[in-house]
Structures are given as structure tokens and as C-alpha cells.
Structure 1
Amino acid sequence: MKQNIYYEGQVLWAQLDPNMHLRHSAYADFCAQARSNMLTKAGLSLEEFAKYHIGPILFREELIYYREIGLDERISVKVEMTKLNLKNFRFSFRHEIYKENGIKAATVEIDGAWLDLQKRKLTIIPEAWHSIFDAIPKADDYTVYSE
């Protein structure tokens, strides 16, 4: 089993496009679920987000397709952090989506930050969360900034 897999599942009929392969927005849905699973496992559950009135927000999402994914195929999604800015805790993650035969079907890269859900403005994370970021898997090309 590959490391850092945070979602595994079957492609459903409702996730197909008219060309009978996985629709583009379903890739984003799978990656969002994998990120949520990864954050929960690291200690940032939905309850923890609600406690501080903070949620993640994306600035960029880029998808590169390698292979088609069809109906009833089983997929797995790997998630790793590629960048973290320690000053403002902006982040980047890479998701790799694999077909059940182990072939990589797509890569999804995202950049994001944290949103104060009451003020509707970008914010930094609470001090209590800093250690949680140590538990988040890092990519081989992971870069940390402090400026």
C-alpha cells in the first residue's frame, strides 16, 4: 500500500461526464475529502475548526490528467504538503490520484490559507495548532518559509 493515502473509493455513475469518464470536478471532490481525512487524522477535525471559527480556503487548484478513470473503478488519493509559510501559515498540498492498478491518473496541486469564518478575512492559525502541522505528511520537495 502506498504511503499517505487518505481516500479510497469507487467511482460512481453520478461522477461521470458525457464522455463516460470521471468528470473534472469529481477529482476536486476526491482531493477535498482526502485533505479533510488527512487533517482529521492529524488533529484538525471539523469540530476543531468550528471551535476556533476557522476554515481552509483555496486560492489555486491545478489538475493534470494522466489517465482516464471510468465507472466502478476504485481509486486512491495520496496527500502531501509541499509548502508551508510559518509566518502566515499559507499552505500548498499535492494530491496524487491512483487507479486500482497503481497507475497515477492525475495530480492536483492546491494553494490555500485560513479564513476567519466570523470576520470573513484571512487569519493565522491558533498557537494550539502549530504542533499539528508536524503530523501532516510532507512531500520530498517540501519547502518551509518564515518570511
Structure 2
Amino acid sequence: MSIIYEGHVIWAQVDANMHLRHSAYADFAAQARIAMMATLGLDFKTFQQLHLGPILFREELQYLREVGINDTIHIKSLLTKVREDGSRWSIRHLLYRGDGIKAAIINVDGAWIDLLKRKLVPLPKDLAAKFLTLPRAEDFQLE
């Protein structure tokens, strides 16, 4: 089971060739992560209360097929790697076109930052326990 985000490609997200522009793939993946984290109670209200936010160290996109304007996309988000305290993590997003064809793979490595101290921190234990319940990829690694 994986958490699925659905979106619709709009005019502002296409390039001169009428394809989904490169940075829009990353935008969709970011929105999928935010939606996925919100299912755990890690929403913006919680982030503000904890003075905490997710940051990325790496974002890698592999483009497989074209995605066009007015297409509906579906993103499956899977945890590929995480530390036991949830402090560092990797997520793989599989982006599918409306016709079910896999169009892109987006891999990200991230962590949590204390927005006041500007330092990396682990999640509070209760939230880390929830974070570790996210759907996992077949090649998942617990560190």
C-alpha cells in the first residue's frame, strides 16, 4: 500500500513544447510529500507549533514519458530509507499519467530542521513512530 496524491496538469505547468515542465515534477512530488505527512499529523499547523520543517539535501528526477496539459497525474510515495529516530529519510515518488503509464521517478533525501535554532533535529518520539509507519518501498532500509 502506498499513499497516492492526485493532481491535474494546468497551463502554468507546461513548457513551450506543451509538456509538463521539469520543475513542475518536483512541485508535484513536494505536494505529495506534504499531503503524505499531513496524514500522520505532520501538517503545517504542527510544524509551526514545533518550529520544525522538512528540508531536502538531494532531489533526483528521472523522466520516463511525456506528461501533457490537462493530464491527471497520480503519485505513489514510498519511504526508501529512514533512521530509527526519523531524523533523516529518503522518499521515492512514482509519478503516473492518467493512462497509468509511469512517467517519472523522483527520489529525495531529507531531514528535519529546527526553524529557530537552524539546526537539524530528530522528530519528537511520537511523530517519529508515526513517520516510521509510512508505506515502504521494496528496497527499504532502516538505518
**Mean Cα deviation higher: 21-30 or 117-126:** 117-126
Question: 1:25 is matched with which residue: 23, 26, 30?
Answer: 23
Give the letter for the 2:54 counterpart. Answer: P
Contact 1:53–1:117 at 8 Å: present in 2 too?
Answer: yes
Question: 2:124 is matched with which residue: 123, 126, 129?
Answer: 126
Counterpart of 1:92? 90
Counterpart of 1:68? 66
Distance in 2 separating the partners of 1:32 and 1:107: 13
| Sequence identity percentage | 50
Distance in 2 separating the partners of 1:131 and 1:119: 23
Q: CA deviation at 1:107?
A: 0.1
Distance in 1 separating the partners of 2:126 and 2:54: 16
Distance in 2 separating the partners of 1:71 and 1:86: 41
Give the letter for the 1:64 counterpart. Answer: Q
Aligned length: 143
1:95-116 CA distance string (max 9 Å, x none): 0000111110000000011010
Query: Where does structure 2 lack aligned partners over 5 or more consecutive residues?
Result: none
RMSD: 1.3
1:10-39 CA distance string (max 9 Å, x none): 100000011210001100110011111111
TM-score, reference length from structure 1: 0.92
Counterpart of 1:45? 43
Counterpart of 2:10? 12
Q: CA deviation at 1:134?
A: 3.4
TM-score, reference length from structure 2: 0.94
Distance in 2 separating the partners of 1:88 and 1:15: 33
Q: CA deviation at 1:128?
A: 2.3
Contact 1:21–1:68 at 8 Å: present in 2 too?
Answer: yes
